[in-house]
Each structure stands twice: as C-alpha cells, then as structure tokens.
Amino acid sequence: MPSCCCLLGLGFPSPPSALRILRRRMASRAFQLRLNPLTGDSEWLVVEEEEEEDHHPTPPPKQLLATTSYLDMLNDSARNRAYRRAIEAAVTDPSSRVLDIGAGTGLLSMMAARALAAVGGETRGGSVSACESYLPMGKLMRRVLRANGMENRVKVFHKRSDELKVGDDLDSPADILVSEILDSELLGEGLIPTLQQAYDMLLAKNPKIVPYRATTYGQLVESTFLWKLHDLHNNEANAADGVWLTPGEMERIVSVKPQQHAMQCDALEDEIRLLSEPFKVFEFDFWKRPDSHREANIKIRTTRDGYVHAIISWWVLQLDSAGSIFYSTAPRWARQSSSEGPQRDMKDWCDHWKQCVWFMQGKGIPATEDQVLSLRARHNQTSISYQLNINDEACDRSSKGDHLTLLPERIALYGDKDWRSALINTIKNALTVKSSPTCVVADDSLFLALLISSMSPTSKVIAMYPGLRDKGAAYLRSVADANNFSIDQIQVIGKRASSITADDLKHKKVNLLVGEPFYLGSEGMLPWQNLRFWSVRTLLDSMLSEDAFIMPCKGILKLCAMSLPDLWRSRSSLKDVEGFDHSVVNETLGACGYLPGDQQGPCLPYYVWQCGYTKKLSKVYSLMDFNFSEPIHSCFGKTKIEFSHDGTCHGFAVWIDWVLDERKSVVLTTGPDNRYWKQGVQLFSKPVEVNPGKSVMHVEASFDPSTGEITFSSSSTTCS
C-alpha cells in the first residue's frame, strides 16, 4: 500500500493516536492495479470502504470484477444447491458459531444465517462471521447483505483469515467452518494453509467442516493437440526451417511451466484417446487438519497402445459428513461412467472450475496395452505434481541452463509450421531490399529476433523485450551459436517504447519494425490489446526511415455472430440465488442479459472453442481496419450481418487478423478456428432468434487510442 508505507518509512516517531488512525485507513482501503494495454504502464486505483451518511455501502466501480469468476460461480446452480444442502445439514445446534472464509458476496454466510434461524439460533447465541480480504468484494458483500436484510445477522471482516483473532474479532472459536477457496487444481487458492491456520487459531475442537472431503482423480491420455501445447522441440524439428528456439541439448530451454494447466477438456473429447481408466490420486480430509506435503505411488494399468502425452485430472467434492452431497469437476466422459454417487449435472457447463492438464515430457511416454506404469504424485500446500516412471526409471523434467517458461498456447504457436512459414517468407522478402538493416523487434518475440539475426548476418537487431528483459537477453546468448549468428548483432534494450531515445538506437534510423505481436503477460487479455504494437510504432515514428518496413502492416477487426448458450448462462444477470437476491452485484460483476435499460455487459476474452456448445450463425465480417503505416488514431467501423443459419444469437466473437505485408498476401488469423488465441466475446443485452434471409444485425465499433478500448453497439431487425 504505497501511500501509507511511505509515511511509516520516514524514520520519524509517530504518536500512538496517529498510528491508530493510519492503521484504520489502511484497513479500509484497497489498491486495484489497472493496466494501460497500449503502453504497458500500470496505475493503482484506490478503493475505499467509506460509506455514505445513510449507511448504504457505496458500490465498487462499474464492472470492476467482470474478469473474475464470481459471476460464473454464482450462476452454477449445482454448486449453490450442494452448498446449501450441506450447510443446512451441518447447522443443527442453535448455539453454533459459523465462520465463512473467503466469503465473496456472502452467499454461504447467508445460507448459514438462514439455517441458524431455522433452528432458533438467533435467540440461543448462534452467530455467523464472514471473512473476505478483498475489499471491493467486501463492499459488494455488504450491499448484498443489506438487500436481503442480513446486515445485522452476518458480521463482516475485511481482512485475511490469518489476521482474525479469537477474543478480538471473534467472540469464541467457531464450531462450523464453511469455505469455497477452491480452484480447478483444488489447492491453488491456498486451501491447505488456510485450513491449517484455522484449525490452529480459529476453530473449536472437533468442528464441522463444509466441504467435508475432496478426492482428486487422473487419467492417462494421448492427444496430438495436447502434445503440440508443450513439445516445442519436436514440433519445430518437424517444421525443418532452420530456426531453432530449442536447439539440440537445449530442448527444454523454452517450455511450459511444470504445473497443472486448467482447460475445458470436454471440448477435446472427440480427439483424445484414453489410455487408462480413471485412478484416484489424493484424498483430502478437511474434517481434520490437513498435511502440507504428501506423496503417493500409484500403479496404473494401460487399456490400449499409445503415447501418454498428458494426465487429465479433476476432483470430486464431498460436502457433508454423511456422504450424500457431492460435486464433481470430472470431464463428461468420466461422469458418464462414474460410480461416485450424485454429481454435477452433465448439462451444466461452467468456466470457474475446469479440468487440469499435466504435460508429459517430449514426444510422450510410449505404452502398450495392459502395461503397468508407475506414477508418483506429490502435493505441497498449493499444487499437485506428477512423475510418470517406466520400469521405475524416473522421467526427468528438470531444465538445464537459462530457460524461459511460456503459456502452452504460445509454445504451440512457436512450433506451428504454417505460422513460422508465414513469418519467414515475409521477413525474407523484406530483407531482399534491405541491406545491413537496423531492425527493431517491438515486442517480446523470441522467434523474430532469432529469425532476422540468422537470415541477415549484417543486420543490427534491437530487441525491445519490455516483458522478457534480462531473461530474454540470457536466452538469446544461449541459442546464438546454434542459430549461426553472433550475439553482438543483437541488443536487448528491455524498455517500453516511451523510454527509448535515439541514443538507444545509436542515432541510426530503423529500417524494419516488426512484431508478432506478442507481449509477455498480456496473453489473457482482449485481442486488440496487442494494438500496443501500433502505439509503439507511433512512439518510434521519428526514428523510422522513410521507407521503413513495418510488420504487421495492418490489423483487421473481424467478427462472427454466434450461438453461445452455455457462456450466456454463466454470464447472465443474477436475481434469486438459492433464495437470496443478488441483483445488486450484476453491474460490478459485468453481467449480461435483461438488465435495466438494456445495459450491455463488457466484451471479455475467451477461448471460444472452450465455451461449451457453440455455433456460428453467420460468415466472418470485417468491421474495422488499423493501418500501422500511420500514427495511432481513433477508428470507427460498422457492418451489416446477414445470418446464414437458424438459431439463437447470444452475441458475437471478435478478433484481429494480422496482415503481414502490404500486398495482403500473408494474413495470420486469430479467430475461433485457431485454438491458440483468445477472442473477445460481446454478449447481447437479450438473445435474438435469427433466420437466414429474414434477420439482419447492424454492428458498430469505435476504437479509443487513449485507452486502447473498443466499444460495440448492435441492433437487430427481422424482415417479414
């Protein structure tokens, strides 16, 4: 908390009263980081807890929490129903003291308060305490509690659970703990250390815990798609184009992070070959203090020949001690054959809990039918890892030398033969008319820096690497010899464009300005936030030669009308959630559908191919051009969509196609058919029934260069 910490760090003594005031101020504010997508600069937004004079909590900024999973979670009726039933089963003593850790909107706390009232708890000393450390969510919770008349029945604490103290915050230790601090891997949100601290400091002896237990499962699979997401070395060997991001004996110098990666695996069901039955990995008993570390050795019998490319994992939650209330994140094929008891409805798609994928090394582990493989699983406080052995020989996952970790989709793209070929041909054509050029790689592209240096030994390559910085420089030094260029050719600046001066370029004009574009850390953002490349080009305008080659030379905003029923349901506005009014959260959480005044929700980034059931209802339309030969400026575009299929249109997918050369002969698309890119999804205020030849939709969009944002508006008409 920068402003407060500066006051305490000056070295001057402060009177106790001043310190108390300062601490109160620190406890009543939070700092939300906001990124400018066009510059990479960030700023802190202050969120205050202060309330208005009539004691109505002031709402957080509009759509502040739109990119979180809260809305999707609250729209998961199976989850909500399971927690309600388990809480009602646990709250049987009217004097129960309930603690909700990670309370969110307060839904579980209100369930507990209602259950407590049903057994006479309001007159017998029962209580409910809600702990939510994220202040914007805490403010939202107070509004929800007030809307449901619960503000005096749930005591709210805006602090971490390890900051709570019995006798200070809590009158006495809690008899019942409810929590939902679970992620797709189960442990990633700090479930184990949170429970350990609660058992040590906050809970009575033999407390009731909701959820009661969780069991993790795995399954060995073969999948060409999953293989491409992690094995860059063998995929670029297949490309055979002479550029080596992972040269021999440095196969792991660029890799995915060795962790479980969340993914909607139902979307891969038709292309995955199952090589084993599901197997149990770990059982976590939350009814007792959990261990920090454990190891399990599991024997797995394969069911067919193949290559083990990955382990797909999921978990099953038992919410009650009687073993009658379950919730599962298993993929569809496992739920259909499972005997684990009542689980999530197979029709329910949700985005907040996915399956997880653990990648095997290299080409995968060969297996023959009926072979017994040995799997070693380990967990620490926040993650689960795997090591698959054959004949008890460990498959070493260690990386040697200076290495970089990238997201699986970026690894797959770097190994994609067609993508590489497009860039190679474009750069080769540019270099035929540029002798000894000065080239600036305007983003964090590993491929372009290597490509130009190896193709043009007399070139001077300046890699901006605003995200990779020193790590990028160390990587280039390691692979220079294998790519037949001198490291002296490359200068890594490690700066943003706004900080670059003519001195950094040795007062030479730039002949080539190139980018993929790719900026490390921005992979989860909306597609047009890669228009940062245009902003960089503008900032470097005075340093470009008159005939500078710019790649890409243009971006084209594309869209396609879509039927997205599963995504729509998960993002739709809230009203009643298990008997509690949640309508006050809709604007802050970025909900869509049936809002006052036909308000439209925000455009959000998704891998459309992972969005449950999807159907294209129109052809692809161009909406707006971004011409990088010009300095950045505002843009406007509009188009008329004519539908090619019947269906319910919930919105449209939006993306950018990158035109690499001025002849428009090389175009890289990032649309829904390309599974390595996220698209923007704009959901409508209401779904629209459409018919070919009868339904027409008009879409307009405007780009604001000061914020990097694109806003959309649409209207539909039906001809008789």
Q: Is pLDDT above 60 for 255?
A: yes
The DSSP code for 67 is T
What pLDDT, on the 0 to 100 scale, is given for residue 1? 36
- pTM of the prediction? 0.92
- How much is the average pLDDT of 90-95? 96
The span from the CA of 569 to the CA of 178, in Å, is: 26
Residue 55 has pLDDT above 70, yes or no: no
Containing H/E element for 476? helix 469-479
Q: Looking at residues 684-705, what average pLDDT do you find?
A: 94
Tell me the C-alpha distance between 68 and 204, whole Å: 33
Sign of the CA dihedral 494, 427, 525, 72?
Answer: negative
Give mean pLDDT, residues 467-471. 93
Of 447, 601, 593, 467, residue with least CA distance to 514 = 447
Write down all domains in the chain, each with its CATH number in brackets.
29-49+60-67 (no CATH), 69-210 (3.40.50.150), 214-403 (2.70.160.11), 416-551 (3.40.50.150), 554-718 (2.70.160.11)
Which of 96-105, 401-410, 505-514, 621-630 bottoms out in mean pLDDT, i.e. has the lowest? 401-410
* Residue 53 pLDDT level (bands cut at 50, 70, 90): very low
Quote the pLDDT of residue 594. 81
Q: Is the pLDDT of residue 395 over 60?
A: no
Average pLDDT, the chain: 90
Q: What is the pLDDT of residue 436?
A: 86
pLDDT at residue 552 greater than cutoff 70: yes
Contacts with 134 (C-beta within 8 Å, 6 or more apart), sequence order: 30
Angle between helices 77-90 and 107-118 (to 10 degrees): 40
What pLDDT score does 18 carry? 41
Judged against a pLDDT cut of 80, whether residue 8 lies above it is answered with no
pLDDT exceeds 70 at position 62: no
Alpha-carbon span 503 to 221, nearest angstrom: 54
pLDDT score of 690: 95
pLDDT of residue 399: 46
- CA 512 centroid distance within chain: 33
E-only strand ranges, 278-324: 279-285, 294-301, 306-308, 310-318
Over residues 461-487, the mean pLDDT reads 95
CA distance 531 to 250: 33
CA 546/CA 549 separation, integer angstroms = 9
- Is the model's pLDDT at 24 over the cut of 70? no
pLDDT-derived band at 58, boundaries 50, 70, 90: low
Residue 292 has pLDDT above 60, yes or no: yes
In percent, how much of the chain has pLDDT > 70?
A: 89
Beta carbons of 519 and 441 less than 8 angstroms apart: no
> What is the model's pLDDT at position 23?
40
Average pLDDT over every residue of 431-459: 94
Torsion over CA of 61, 65, 66 and 71, rounded to 10 degrees?
Answer: -130
Separation CA 37–CA 42 (nearest Å): 9
Mean pLDDT of 432-442: 91
Q: Are 397 and 385 in contact (CB under 8 A)?
A: no
Torsion of CA 217, 220, 223, 225, to 10 degrees: 40
pLDDT higher than threshold 80 for residue 211: yes
Q: What is the pLDDT of residue 331?
A: 96
**Rg, C-alpha atoms of the chain:** 28
Q: Mean pLDDT throughout 557-563?
A: 98
pLDDT tops 70 at residue 288:
yes
Q: Which residues are CB-neighbours of 653 under 8 A, at least 6 positions away?
A: 559, 560, 562, 608, 671, 672, 679, 680, 681
Torsion of CA 625, 451, 418, 443, to 10 degrees: -40
Residues carrying an active site annotation:
180, 189
Whether residue 3 has pLDDT greater than 60? no
pLDDT at 28 over 90: no
